[in-house]
Amino acid sequence: MSDSHLTDTRFDSFEFDPRVAAGIKDTGFDYCTPIQAETLPLALAGQDIAGQAQTGTGKTAAFLLATFQHLLTHPAKENRRKNQPRALMVAPTRELAVQIHKDALQLGAHTDFRIRAVFGGTAYDKQRQDLEDGVDILIGTPGRLIDYFKQKVYDLKATQVVVLDEADRMFDLGFIKDIRYLIRRTPPPEERLGLMFSATLSYRVTELAYEHMNNPTQIKVESDTLTADRIRQKGYMVANDEKIPLLIGLLRSFDEHRAIVFVNTKRAADIIWGFLEGNGFPASILSGDVPQKKRLSLLKRFQDGELSVLVATDVAARGLHIEDVSHVINYDLPDDAEDYVHRIGRTARAGSDGDAISFVCESYAMALPDIEAYIKQKLDVTMPPSELLAEVDPGSRVRTERRKPMHGSGGNRGGGRGRSSGGGGRGRGGQGRGRNNS
Between 156 and 416, name the one with better pLDDT: 156
The pLDDT confidence band at residue 408, using thresholds 50, 70 and 90, is: very low
Instruction: Give the pLDDT of residue 185.
Output: 96
95 has pLDDT over 70: yes
2 has pLDDT over 70: no
The pLDDT confidence band at residue 240, using thresholds 50, 70 and 90, is: very high
pLDDT, average across residues 387-396: 88
426 has pLDDT over 50: no
pLDDT, average across residues 144-171: 93
CB 90 within 8 A of CB 172: no
242 has pLDDT over 60: yes
349 has pLDDT over 90: no
Cβ within 8 Å of residue 403, ≥6 positions away: none
Q: How far apart are CA 127 and CA 117, in angstroms?
A: 7
Q: How far apart are CA 392 and CA 380, in angstroms?
A: 26
3-state secondary structure 56-97: CCCHHHHHHHHHHHHHHHCCCCCCCCCCCCCEEEECCCHHHH
Q: Where are the domain boundaries for CATH 3.40.50.300 in the chain?
A: 11-220, 227-388
The pLDDT confidence band at residue 85, using thresholds 50, 70 and 90, is: very high
pLDDT, average across residues 75-98: 93
Closest CA to 6 of 31, 28, 38, 36: 31
178 has pLDDT over 50: yes
User: What proportions of the chain, in percent to the nearest 5, are helix, strand and coil?
Assistant: 40, 15, 45
Q: Centre a 10 Å sphere on the Cβ of residue 49 and count the other Cβ atoms it contains.
A: 25
User: φ, ψ for residue 67 (rounded to 5)?
Assistant: -65, -50
Instruction: Give the pLDDT of residue 378.
Output: 92
Instruction: Give the pLDDT of residue 317.
Output: 56
What is the second-level CATH architecture of the domain 11-220?
3-Layer(aba) Sandwich (3.40)
What mean pLDDT is reported for the chain? 85
334 has pLDDT over 90: yes
- Range ranked top by mean pLDDT from 172-181, 186-195, 213-222: 186-195
Cβ within 8 Å of residue 374, ≥6 positions away: 226, 337, 338, 340, 341
What is the second-level CATH architecture of the domain 227-388?
3-Layer(aba) Sandwich (3.40)
Instruction: Give the pLDDT of residue 350.
Output: 58
Closest CA to 296 of 87, 177, 120: 120
Distance of CA 10 to the CA centre of its chain: 27
pLDDT tens-digit readout, 357-385 = 999 999 999 999 999 998 888 999 999 99
436 has pLDDT over 50: no
424 has pLDDT over 90: no
User: φ, ψ for residue 116 (rounded to 5)?
Assistant: -120, 145
The pLDDT confidence band at residue 226, using thresholds 50, 70 and 90, is: low
Instruction: Give the pLDDT of residue 433.
Output: 35
